[in-house]
């Protein structure tokens, strides 16, 4: 790709030419330089020198909007940084994925780069469509989360009882040693597709993917149980996937900026680490919540000691 094409695509993506230093962009936006720099770093971008011309009119406008929201009292400075960190982390993954797809397209059709003007026009048409898709997804997720939050307005939004589950691929380390990059990418894609679809179908939520592992939550013990059982069952039936194992716990969970914390999360993680392939282990709170539900069979195992928990009381969960 020539430098002229790179510059043209960059202008499309950034919404204009780079023409301001960090001092100039902060001054134009009416934001203290230290505050602007702090937000820039929270978004996950590297620091820039005083004389580097890297910012555009869109950067000025974004800083102004942040300042206006702060002036309205919507959030304080610490919340701004937290929001910026979450945005930076998640949006960077989306951008990486989309550029990867674009690179594969170019690799499969190298003639696309022969007509540089045509390729630049293609990018110019593509970006607005991606923006609309991102906006649509964000609004749908916002509506879904608002629905859950407003269903119980008396309960603190950050804290509540949920079913927390981990599921991971068995033998992933050995799989990485004996597989090519293409084969490993195929397995991970299959894993991510399986778990995200199954969790969504059972009204759960993916908190995060951790390579060969997924962390999810569900509002009820039954939903959490169905998700975990479905995941291990689908993996056993799929010749392209290694076996999965899952750990489930039920209790109070602290939700903060898209992630979850607390002993319930830690217990679910520990249960997963001691679980046999193709099985689901649950803690005593989950077992008590599911007791009497004829859809499940629960068999207690001997108490075990794991890191951070003495005499943890696991049970094996199966469908009736």
Q: What does the pLDDT read at residue 87?
A: 84
- Determine which of 50-64, 86-100, 288-302 has the lowest per-residue pLDDT on average: 86-100
Residue 303 pLDDT > 80: yes
Q: What does the pLDDT read at residue 151?
A: 59
Give the Cβ contact number of residue 204 at 10 Å.
Answer: 24
Contact 320, 295 (CB under 8 A): yes
Give the Cβ contact number of residue 63 at 10 Å.
Answer: 21
Q: What does the pLDDT read at residue 150?
A: 65
The pLDDT of 108-121, averaged and rounded, is 85
DSSP-assigned beta bridge partners for residue 216 = 165, 206
Residue 4 pLDDT > 90: no
Q: pLDDT tens digits for 132-160?
A: 999 999 898 888 777 766 655 555 555 67
- pTM of this structure: 0.72
The pLDDT of 32-44, averaged and rounded, is 86
For the segment(s) 159-319, the CATH number from 3.40.190.10, 3.40.50.20, 3.40.50.2000, 3.30.70.1230 is 3.30.70.1230
Contact 56, 18 (CB under 8 A): yes
129 Cβ contact list (under 8 Å, min separation 6): none
User: Is the pLDDT higher at 77 or at 142?
Assistant: 142
Structure tokens, 264: 């319930």
Nearest-CA neighbor of 169 among 231, 243, 225, 230? 243
Structure tokens, 82: 């937290």
DSSP-assigned beta bridge partners for residue 217 = 164, 205
Q: pLDDT tens digits for 171-207?
A: 988 888 888 988 898 999 999 999 999 999 998 999 9
For residues 11 and 211, give the distance between their C-alpha atoms in angstroms, rounded to a whole number: 34
Query: Could you write out the DSSP letters of every residue in the chain?
Result: --HHHHHHHHHHHHTS---B-HHHHHHHHT--HHHHHHHHHHTTPPP--TT---B-HHHHHHHHHHHHHHHTTS--HHHHHHHHHHHHHHHHHHHHHHHHHHHHHHHH-GGGGTSHHHHHHHHHHHHHHHHHHHHHHHHHHHHHHHHHHHHSTTS-TTEEEEEEEEEEETTHHHHHHHS-HHHHHHHHHHHHHHHHHHHHHTT-EEEEE-SSEEEEEESSHHHHHHHHHHHHHHHHH-TTS--EEEEEEEEEEEEETTEEESHHHHHHHHHHHTPPTT-EEE-HHHHHHHTT-TTEEEEE---EEETTEEEE--EEEEE-
The pLDDT of 167-174, averaged and rounded, is 92
Residue 282 pLDDT > 60: yes
Q: What does the pLDDT read at residue 26?
A: 92
For residues 259 and 48, give the distance between their C-alpha atoms in angstroms, rounded to a whole number: 30
Residue 72 pLDDT > 80: no
Structural domain spans, the chain: 5-151, 159-319
Q: What does the pLDDT read at residue 55?
A: 93
For residues 248 and 282, give the distance between their C-alpha atoms in angstroms, rounded to a whole number: 5
Residue 246 pLDDT > 60: yes
Mean pLDDT, all residues of the chain:
88
């Amino acid at each position: 790709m020539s430098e002229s094409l790179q510059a043209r695509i960059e202008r499309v993506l950034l919404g204009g030419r780079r023409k301001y230093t960090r001092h100039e962009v902060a001054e134009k936006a009416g934001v203290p330089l230290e505050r602007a720099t702090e937000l820039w770093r929270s978004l996950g971008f590297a620091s820039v020198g005083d004389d580097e011309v890297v910012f555009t009119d869109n950067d000025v406008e974004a800083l102004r909007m942040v300042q206006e929201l702060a002036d309205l009292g919507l959030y304080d400075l610490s919340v701004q940084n937290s929001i910026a960190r979450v945005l930076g982390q998640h949006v960077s993954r989306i951008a990486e994925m989309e550029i990867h797809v674009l690179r594969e397209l170019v690799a499969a059709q190298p003639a696309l780069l022969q007509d540089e003007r045509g390729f630049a026009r293609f990018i110019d048409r593509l970006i607005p469509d991606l923006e609309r898709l991102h906006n649509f997804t964000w609004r749908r997720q916002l509506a879904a989360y608002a629905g859950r939050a407003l269903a119980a307005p008396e309960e603190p939004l950050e804290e509540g009882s949920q079913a927390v589950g981990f599921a991971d691929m068995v033998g992933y380390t050995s799989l990485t040693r004996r597989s090519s990059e293409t084969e490993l990418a195929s397995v991970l894609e299959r894993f991510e597709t399986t778990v995200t679809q199954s969790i969504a179908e059972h009204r759960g939520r993916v908190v995060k993917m951790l390579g060969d592992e997924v962390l999810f939550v569900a509002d009820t013990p039954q939903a959490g149980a169905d998700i975990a059982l479905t995941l291990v069952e689908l993996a056993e039936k799929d010749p392209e996937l290694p076996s999965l194992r899952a750990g489930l716990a039920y209790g109070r969970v602290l939700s903060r900026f898209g992630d979850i914390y607390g002993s319930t999360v830690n217990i679910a993680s520990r249960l997963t680490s001691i679980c046999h392939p193709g099985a689901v282990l649950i803690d005593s709170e989950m077992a008590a919540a599911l007791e009497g539900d004829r859809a499940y069979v629960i068999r207690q195992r001997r108490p075990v000691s794991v890191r951070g928990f003495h005499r943890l009381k696991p049970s094996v969960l199966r469908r009736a």
